[in-house]
Amino acid sequence: MHQPVVTPVHKPVVTPVSTPIRATAGSTAVRAEVHAPQLSYLQPVPRHMVHRAAIAEVFLTDAVRTDEHSFLVAAQWPRDHALYSPGSDGTSDPLLFMETIRQALVYLAHAYYDVPLTHRFIGFGSEFEITDPAALRIGGEPVPVVLEAEWAWVGNRPPHRFGMRLDVVLTVAGRACGRGALHVVAVDDKRYAMLRGRGAKPRGVAVTGPAPRALERVHPAAVGRLRAKDSVLVRERTDTPWQLLIDVEHPIFFDHPSDHVPLMVTLEGFRQLGHLLLHPGDMARGAGHGLLGMEVDCQAFGELDAPIDLVVRERQPDTGSGTTRMTLDAVQNGTSVATCRTLWGAQAADGTAHPAHRAPVSSTA
């Protein structure tokens, strides 16, 4: 989550809704009634407001305030995407949800809470869970989604340091189908440099990745991707850990210069390793597991110039619910930089989900 070239702040036209959102997850009638007249899907929000350089990677289209710290945020998910391609079950890539949460938090911070465009955003933790995968099945048009968002300040010390958390409920056509959250801090350049130490780079300066190594990427089909450039797993030998391939030339993972590994790159590494382990090579096409949720704690910056090992700490299948929990660590120079708890739901050979997949992402939840 980094700041691109600064341009003037876009201030949205806010149309207050008549009734603040107080609906439960099952109150789809209330959701449908409130969403429709308030949100536009005509065009994306300005790219600098969600820290994106490419217009094609902006999914947010609108946002309105419904209460002091409550919002409705509209986004349009593409029917297909170079990176976030649909799953074998015909549903939208779940990491589109996480990227939409990220964009929503950044947009609301700048547009509604006056967090300066020059501040650097640092992720502390993120999570999402798809509770109704069928609602995300792709049809004949791009998927219009709404996030019912609640904003909270966490460890907030403005104007130099803003601490914030956004909790959201994902809905499609008024149908609640997921939940998620993101916790970040936004700091000025001085405090960012203090946090980064020697790893800090001036804003906008071109970055370089680790020295090239003679390691082949895992075949994209084995990690659920379509293009070779989107596979982020490499391995030196069969008895060594899988590693996160850091490609600073990737047009989506590194949409703009960054002096460390972006959160979404690390999430993609966790997702791809889970997919690889849960989809043996001899498995029927379309069978296996679909990603239902992730819960990530970030402990340190992932540096660009050293290998990052991806290690499976725990794997817990549940044949009764058809789910598998997997806990993974991203380790660099012997230190954990992130821990991820994932939830996967079993799929049949035709790509349909196991009928009893509901389970929380965290086993302690």
Task: Please write the tens of the pLDDT for every residue from 157-200.
Answer: 999 999 999 999 999 999 999 999 999 999 999 999 999 886 55
Tens digits of per-residue pLDDT, 197-223? 865 555 555 556 655 566 889 999 999
Beta carbons within 10 angstroms of residue 212's beta carbon: 6
CATH fold of 37-193 reads: Thiol Ester Dehydrase; Chain A (3.10.129)
**Residue holding tokens 């690889």?**
276
What would the two tokens of residue 177 be?
Answer: 């189908």
What would the two tokens of residue 99 be?
Answer: 């990227």
Q: Is the pLDDT of residue 60 over 60?
A: yes
CB under 8 Å to 234, separation ≥6 — which residues?
213, 215, 216, 217, 218, 242, 243, 245
Exposure of 205 by Cβ count < 10 A (0-12 exposed, 13-18 middle, 19+ buried)?
exposed
Cα distance between residue 353 and residue 143, in whole Å: 20
Q: Are 272 and 224 in contact (CB under 8 A)?
A: yes
Q: Which residues pair with 342 in a beta bridge?
A: 294, 326
Q: What one-character DSSP code corresponds to residue 271?
A: H
Q: Are 108 and 71 in contact (CB under 8 A)?
A: yes
Q: Which residues pair with 318 in a beta bridge?
A: 323
CATH 3.10.129.10 positions along the chain are 37-193, 214-346
Cα distance between residue 267 and residue 264, in whole Å: 5
Cα distance between residue 260 and residue 348, in whole Å: 39
pLDDT band at 25 (very low <50, low <70, confident <90, very high): very low
How far does the chain reach from its first CA to its final CA, in angstroms? Answer: 27
Q: Say what the pLDDT of residue 203 is.
A: 57
- What is the model's pTM? 0.84
What would the two tokens of residue 121 be?
Answer: 């955003």
Please tell me the CATH code under which domain 214-346 is placed: 3.10.129.10
Tens digits of per-residue pLDDT, 283-301? 545 567 899 999 999 999 9
Q: Which of 123, 165, 164 is nearest to 302 (CA)?
A: 123
Determine phi and psi for 337, rounding to 5 degrees. Answer: -100, -20
Q: What is the CA radius of gyration of the chain?
A: 20
What would the two tokens of residue 67 be?
Answer: 């209460």
Q: Is the pLDDT of residue 12 over 60?
A: no
The length of the chain in residues reads: 365
